[in-house]
Amino acid sequence: MVTPGIINYRIMVKKDGGDTYTFPGGFKGNPFAWDEYRNESWQTYVATPQSPLELFNATSDRTKIILYNPDWKANTVEYITDDKPNQLVLKATMNKPSTDNSWDGNSFSAIKFQEEKLSLSPSLN
């Protein structure tokens, strides 16, 4: 089990021939050798099981959302402030409901998430 907080980690890949590569960096060699001077690592946060999962943050993710609004005259989309300092909220309002231009969560917006990709280079072939 991992304790909640900040964790630093590296990934080591050992080939059948015995060569070891350490990421980030893709350096060949044993990272635990007495003369190894490279100590790069990734860092991430470990949350408690009760922590909420944030899927969308209007302040930092507003440039990553693609809005679909079937009727810009009747519906409004705006970013407003919240009780928290430096925090925005996405406010979507349907002013005049219409039967032909439904505006539900599926037709209104699609959030585009960025994929984090692990690049294992140099090639380990």
Within-domain flag for 119? no
Within-domain flag for 16? yes
Total structural domains within the chain:
2
Helix (H) or strand (E) holding 22: strand 20-23
Q: What pLDDT, on the 0 to 100 scale, is given for residue 99?
A: 62
Within-domain flag for 124? no
Domain around 32: 5-46
Cα–Cα distance between 42 and 103 in angstroms, integer?
42
Q: What pLDDT, on the 0 to 100 scale, is given for residue 98?
A: 60
Residues 40 and 74 in one domain: no
Task: Name the pTM for this structure.
Answer: 0.45
Ramachandran region of residue 49, left (φ > 0), alpha (ψ -120 to 50) or beta? alpha
Mean pLDDT of the region 64-73:
74
Question: Model confidence over 101-113: pLDDT tens digits?
Answer: 554 444 334 444 4
